[in-house]
Amino acid sequence: MKLLTHEIPTPWGKIATVVDVTNKPIVIGAGFKPLTKLIKQLPQKYLEFDFKKDSKLLGVTNIVRDWIDGDLDAFSELNVLQQGSEFNQKCWNALRKIKGGKVITYAQLAKNAGNIKAVRAAGSACGKNLIAPFVPCHRVIKTGGAIGNYGFGISLKRALLTHEGIHNWH
């Protein structure tokens, strides 16, 4: 397995990325956190391999730049893979279907993932998402309109939503 790492600068801080390039590039980890912390959060099976820094992950970098420049659905072009329960997988797939500039509630996420009663589990799936913002859990808010939590902080969630033209939370 060949794993490459890269840190992509954004107006909100660097997005650390880990990409499996063994065959076609697949993002297995991403987030607004130090690369060393991201790597430690990956499943054990990846920790057996060497991680090589590579500033040539241009495909991923270009998609992030496109998103910064206003293509709010640019992340849908990335191949992603993360381990998790069947329900988490359904939630993460549902998150990838939220169009840029739109938000849904945790209740809507649970429904879209196939279990309308699993609102807390949907929130938990957002918290376990190791490929944010490419799997855009920042686009999920509370039912009453409050912004809700975000693993990288509420101020960053506000900034990302504002970037995507969303201002209707309280």
Residue 80 sits at φ, ψ, to 5 deg, of -130, 155
State the Cα torsion 122-129-79-93 to the nearest 10°.
0
Quick one: CA torsion of 72, 153, 97, 3, rounded to 10 degrees? 90
> Which residues are paired to 44 by β-bridges?
none
Does 91 qualify as catalytic in the annotation?
no
Q: What residue spans of the chain are helical by DSSP H?
A: 35-41, 44-47, 58-68, 86-96, 106-112, 119-128, 154-163
Which pLDDT value is given to residue 56?
Answer: 67
What backbone phi and psi angles, to 5 degrees, belong to 20? Answer: -85, 115
Specify the pLDDT at position 20.
93
| Contact yes or no for 61/6 (Cβ under 8 A) | yes
Q: Which CA distances in Å does 139 have to 45, 57, 63, 83, 147?
A: 30, 26, 18, 21, 9
Alpha-carbon gap, residue 22 to 15, rounded angstroms: 21
Per-residue pLDDT of the chain (170 residues), as tens digits, is: 889 999 999 999 999 999 999 898 999 999 999 999 999 999 999 988 888 888 667 789 999 999 999 999 999 999 999 999 999 999 999 999 999 999 999 999 999 999 999 999 999 999 999 999 999 999 999 999 999 999 999 999 999 999 999 987 66
Query: Cis omega (within 30 of 0) on the bond before 43?
Result: no
Comparing C-alpha atoms, which of 168, 170, 150 is closest to residue 12?
Answer: 150
State residue 111 phi and psi, 5-degree precision. Answer: -65, -45
Task: Out of 137, 147, 160, 161, pick the active-site residue.
Answer: 137
Per DSSP bridges, beta strands 51-53 and 3-8 are parallel
pLDDT value of residue 49: 83
- Measured between alpha carbons, how far is 54 from 90 in angstroms, rounded to an integer? 31
